[in-house]
Amino acid sequence: MRALDRWRDSLAAWAIPADVGQPESPWVLPREVFLRRCDRQLLRREGASLRLAEEALGAGGTVLDIGAAAGAASIPLRAATSLTAVDDDAELLAEFSRRAEASTVLGHWPEVAPSCPVVDVVVCGHVVYNVPDLGPFVAAMTAHARRLVVVETAERHPLTSLNPLWRHFHGIERPTGPTADDFADCLRELGIEPRVERWSRAPAAEHADFASLVEVTRRRLCLPGDRASEVDRQLRVLGVDPDRPPDLGSSGDDVVTLSWRPRVIH
């Protein structure tokens, strides 16, 4: 099986099993987490992704941020002379605009690619695990970059952090992939040899409080509201620090940056 097919099938395996009830949508978008990440990155300026993008920008250049959310991947870039942000969430794009002067494009990549400029550096942070069809997605990114494409992602599919909880509450074994290595294999299948750097993000609170983490996790586990206290208890059993609640099901602290110089993909 081709790497691209394995990637698509691995993502499809994350569908909620038919026999699991869904009292609310489990696909929660905790906007506050994205806002806190951007504000934290503006202060910390950490990681290989920022460094590589800034090296490519040099004294200055234009940036396109795909799946921009509140702007953690692009707003901290000091040498960016202009920013274009793409996201399918209007509220997050509004938050992006509050933090930086930018052009914003509402919609899904690569469908909105024709509306976006070709720029010096394309950045894409923690998006690829939401992309079953990588070929067109990667091709459009590469076609829009003159100097470099920088993709940041978690070491493995972020929902794997919830697997012990699925086992506890539902007796279900959830998938364990795909991984950043699988993404790299897909790039190679597309004719791209990426530069790969692994690094660790400094731990930080991603939710404002532990109760917010409990609520988001409960919904992701397809549990009704009256099970919140059990979720609270199990999160503590897993060793989650109530004073520094991470967003389980999000990027985590083990990060991989993949970058490549643009060229035509056939």
- Structural domain boundaries of the chain? 3-14+30-158+177-208+250-260
Return d(Cα 88, Cα 70) in angstroms, integer: 12
DSSP helix/strand/coil, 3: helix
Distance CA 260, CA 249 (A): 27
List, in order, residues 6 or more apart from 57 with CB less than 8 Å away: 63, 77, 79, 80, 120, 121, 147
Structure tokens at 261: 């110089």
Written as tens digits, the pLDDT of the chain (266 aa) is 699 999 999 999 999 999 998 888 888 878 999 999 999 999 999 999 999 999 999 999 999 999 999 999 999 999 999 999 999 999 999 999 999 999 999 999 999 999 999 999 999 999 999 999 999 999 999 999 999 999 999 999 999 999 999 999 999 999 999 999 999 999 999 999 999 999 998 888 899 999 999 999 999 999 999 999 999 999 999 999 999 999 887 767 899 999 999 974 43
Q: Which fold has domain 3-14+30-158+177-208+250-260?
A: Rossmann fold (3.40.50)
- Report yes or no: 49 and 128 within 8 Å, Cβ to Cβ: no
Q: What span, in angstroms and rounded, lies between the C-alpha atoms of 42 and 33?
A: 14
Q: How many helices (H) and strands (E) does the chain have?
A: 9, 7
- For 182-217, letters b (16+ CB in 10 Å) and e give bbbbbbebbebebebbeeebeeebbbeebebbbbbb
- What gap in Å lies between CA 109 and CA 136, rounded to an integer? 9
